[in-house]
Structures are given as C-alpha cells and as structure tokens.
C-alpha cells in the first residue's frame, strides 16, 4: 500500500469517526505494463484487466509499455509510474534481471509489484502469475510440430527477444523432452524480438539456411504471424508448417491458407483479468504474497502461491481448422 493511500484511508477513517461524511477514496491505480505496445496479446490482456477494474469498482487500469521490447524502455516506464505514485505495477518482463533495481525502488516506495506472463527474478517482485505450467507449454510447442511430422524432420525455433523470461523458459522445457522425439532435429533458434518485420526476416533466413526445413516453432504471438506470412510469401505452404503460440484472431488467415496446421494459446483476456484482481488484492492489503497464500481472483476463482511465490493458470488450448472460426472474434 502506498503512503498516499494509507493517508487517504486514515483521513476518511478520522472523518467518519468524528461524524462527518467520509471522504471519497482515491481510485486504486494499477499499471499493467506490456513487453511493448502494439502487440495484440497484451491488448487482449488489457481488456481483461479493464473488466476486473469494472467489477472491483473505484479502480483504474493504466495500460502502458515501451514502444519496443527492451528492458531499457521498461525501466523508463517503471520510473515514470513511480513518479505517478501508482498503487501497483504488474509487468511482463523483457529481462528477468535488468528490471530488478527499478522494481525494488517501486516496492521501497510502497508500490505493489508483481510480474505476469514473462517473469522477473524473485527479488524484483512480490509474486509471479504464469499463464500455464512452463513444462506443459514446452511439451506443447514441440508436440504441435511433431504431430504433423510422423516420419520426423527438421524444425527451427523463432523466438521473441533473447532475454525474454517466458520464451527462454519454454524453449528450455521443450529441449528437455527432445529425447522423446529421436527423429526430430532442432536446427536453429533465432530471435525476432516480437517485431513483425524482424521476425519475418528471421523466418526467411531460416528457410534460406535450411532448405529442407519442415517446421518453424514460434512461441510468440508476433513471431508466429510473421513466420506464417514469410512461408506463404516464399511459396512454402505445405513444406514448412508454422506452429507455436498465437492468437486465433491473428492466425485465422494462416490456418485458412495452410501455412499453419495448428497452434496453441491460453486465454489472454482471463490472464489480464486475473493479474488485475491479484494486483488489487495485494495493493489494498486484501491479500499478502507469501508461499501457500490463496488469493481470490473473481470469476476465475483463486490462485495459490508456491514456494517461489508463483502461480500458474490453465492449460493451453489448441486451435486448427476445426475450431478457429469460433474463437477468432474472441481474442
Ligand atoms: C507474445 C509475447 C508474450 C507471449 C505471447 C505468447 O505476445 O512474447 O510474452 O506470452 O507472445
């Protein structure tokens, strides 16, 4: 809880004790910080956070982020949020370590700090909300590719930035289970930085360096769309299958064209909603982030923190020709 919030509550309590009308309380201000602006995944999460704020009442969501996916950009955003004395910062990190000093400064000022989607090192946040189990996501992304390669083949990974906590963890989890796929070889891992043009060029580069490539796994909603476009433009539909994590709204064309057979994702609206619910509970002292704590999350139920003060939500869901139409207008 910030000093100004404590003061406001103190003043309104004093006012009610002496019999005057209690002062209207300042809204709880929650900053939802994206890896970068202009990414549909974070925009969907922000819609969920707004929904939570409307349910909670007297709550304001400040949806913000840098223009590109850098830690430096996020540090500037954090410093500005500290100056604005927000009540909570919920951040999807571009780097697990580089943000820690700025986030520690925020916590020292009484601001609640949590990470979501892409985590911050434990000393830089009170808790982390993961969309799903890291292990399950790692297993899912390779299985999506393998399901369409019955005789094995060559796959490459097109990731976001090289410092992105979530993608690095998922790729590490994928690599742990590669022994289950002896006929599949991972020939390269490249980084498109969650920028459409860089991701497109990296996908083109993969096809040029590996003419016999069978699949591109892009565990990023920006990379997967760009890779599908690159495959279509290169006339490689039917030869290179693009899969990974994406939004049905952004991938419908790729499923339709056959550039992607299938891909997966969790519900980003629910993720943003849950993040805002948790940030509100911690900022208003409705909950404390500690191992074993259960925090209520409105229509999503509750989350329970493990010994690293982390919690994971639901399982990723797979989209293909059979169900894309139904989901493409939702997120
Ligand atoms: C991109 C971002 C985000 C990730 C999704 C799947 O939008 O990298 O962090 O969770 O893809």
Specify whether the CB–CB gap between 295 and 281 falls below 8 A.
Answer: yes
> Residue 16: what pLDDT?
54
Question: Per residue in 139-173, pLDDT tens?
Answer: 999 999 999 999 999 999 999 999 999 999 999 99
Specify whether the CB–CB gap between 150 and 214 falls below 8 A.
Answer: no
Query: Cα(16) to centroid of ligand 1, in Å?
Result: 47
For atom 8 of ligand 1, which residue has the closest CA? 220
Kindly report which listed range (18-22, 87-91, 184-188, 216-220) carries the lowest average pLDDT score: 18-22
Query: Cα(35) to centroid of ligand 1, in Å?
Result: 8
Give the confidence band of 24 by pLDDT, cuts at 50, 70, 90. confident
CA–CA distance, 63 with 47 (Å, rounded to integer): 10
For atom 5 of ligand 1, which residue has the closest CA? 220
Query: Cα(220) to centroid of ligand 1, in Å?
Result: 5
Q: Which residue has the tokens 């601001």?
A: 111
Q: What is the number of the ligand 1 atom nearest to the C-alpha of 194?
A: 8
Mean pLDDT over each residue of the chain, to the nearest integer: 95
Q: Residue 135 forms beta bridges with which residues?
A: none
Specify whether the CB–CB gap between 58 and 28 falls below 8 A.
Answer: yes
CATH, domain range 134-265: 3.40.50.2300
Whole-model pTM: value is 0.94
Specify the 3-state DSSP secondary structure of 294.
strand
Residue 232 clears pLDDT 60, i.e. is over it: yes
Question: Per residue in 50-97, pLDDT tens?
Answer: 999 999 999 999 999 999 999 999 999 999 999 999 999 999 999 999
**CA torsion 280→298→54→102, rounded to 10°?**
30
> Residue 4: what pLDDT?
59
Specify whether the CB–CB gap between 91 and 115 falls below 8 A.
Answer: yes
CA 172 vs. chain centroid, Å, equals 17
Averaged pLDDT, 90-118: 98
For atom 2 of ligand 1, which residue has the closest CA? 220
Q: Residue 310 forms beta bridges with which residues?
A: 128
Question: Per residue in 2-14, pLDDT tens?
Answer: 655 666 555 555 5
Give the confidence band of 303 by pLDDT, cuts at 50, 70, 90. very high
Q: What is the number of the ligand 1 atom nearest to the C-alpha of 42?
A: 7
Query: Cα(20) to centroid of ligand 1, in Å?
Result: 50
CA–CA distance, 34 with 64 (Å, rounded to integer): 6
Give the confidence band of 1 by pLDDT, cuts at 50, 70, 90. low
Averaged pLDDT, 214-220: 99
Residue 15 clears pLDDT 70, i.e. is over it: no
Domain coordinates of the chain in residue numbers? 9-130+268-314, 134-265
> Residue 9: what pLDDT?
59
Question: Alpha helices, DSSP H only, in the chain?
Answer: 3-17, 40-56, 71-83, 100-108, 134-146, 165-176, 196-209, 221-233, 248-257, 268-283, 324-327
For atom 4 of ligand 1, which residue has the closest CA? 220
Cβ density class 16-35: b for 16+ within 10 Å, e for less: eeeeeeeeeebebbbbbbbb
Specify whether the CB–CB gap between 116 and 91 falls below 8 A.
Answer: yes
Q: What is the number of the ligand 1 atom nearest to the C-alpha of 118?
A: 9
> Residue 168: what pLDDT?
98
Query: Cα(41) to centroid of ligand 1, in Å?
Result: 6
Assigned CATH class of 9-130+268-314: alpha beta
For atom 10 of ligand 1, which residue has the closest CA? 117
CB-based contacts of 134, cutoff 8 Å, min separation 6: 169, 170, 173, 312
Specify whether the CB–CB gap between 153 and 120 falls below 8 A.
Answer: no
Question: Per residue in 243-298, pLDDT tens?
Answer: 999 999 999 999 999 999 999 999 999 999 999 999 999 999 999 999 999 999 99
Query: Cα(22) to centroid of ligand 1, in Å?
Result: 44
CA–CA distance, 192 with 221 (Å, rounded to integer): 11
Residues within 6 Å of ligand 1 by CB: 35, 39, 41, 92, 117-118, 160, 166, 194, 220-222, 245
């Amino acid at each position: 809880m910030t000093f100004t919030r404590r003061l406001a509550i103190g003043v309104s309590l004093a006012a009610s004790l002496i019999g005057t009308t209690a002062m209207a309380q300042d809204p709880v201000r929650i900053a939802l910080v994206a890896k970068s602006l202009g990414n549909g995944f974070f925009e969907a999460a922000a819609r969920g956070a707004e929904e939570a704020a409307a349910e909670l009442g007297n709550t304001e969501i400040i949806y913000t982020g840098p223009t590109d996916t850098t830690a430096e950009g996020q540090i500037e955003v954090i410093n500005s949020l500290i100056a604005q004395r927000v009540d909570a910062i919920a951040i999807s990190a571009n780097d697990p370590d580089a943000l820690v000093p700025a986030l520690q400064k925020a916590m020292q000022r009484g601001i609640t700090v949590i990470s979501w989607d892409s985590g911050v090192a434990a000393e830089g946040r009170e808790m982390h909300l993961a969309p799903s189990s890291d292990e399950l996501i790692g297993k899912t992304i390779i299985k999506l590719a393998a399901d369409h390669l019955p005789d094995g083949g060559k796959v490459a990974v097109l990731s976001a930035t090289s410092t992105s906590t979530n993608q690095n963890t998922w790729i590490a989890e994928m690599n742990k289970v590669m022994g289950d796929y002896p006929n599949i070889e991972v020939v390269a891992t490249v980084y498109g930085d969650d920028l459409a043009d860089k991701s497109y060029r990296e996908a083109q580069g993969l096809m040029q360096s590996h003419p016999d490539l069978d699949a591109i796994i892009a565990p990023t909603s920006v990379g997967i769309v760009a890779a599908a476009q690159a495959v279509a433009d290169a006339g490689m539909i039917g030869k290179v299958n693009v899969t990974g994590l994406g939004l049905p709204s952004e991938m419908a064309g790729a499923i339709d064209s056959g550039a992607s057979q299938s891909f997966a994702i969790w519900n980003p609206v629910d993720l943003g909603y849950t993040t805002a619910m948790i940030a509100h509970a911690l900022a208003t002292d409705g909950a404390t982030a500690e191992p074993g704590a259960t925090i209520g999350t409105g229509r999503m139920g509750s989350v329970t923190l493990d010994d690293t003060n982390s919690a994971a939500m639901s399982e990723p869901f797979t989209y293909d020709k059979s169900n894309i139409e139904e989901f493409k207008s939702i997120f």
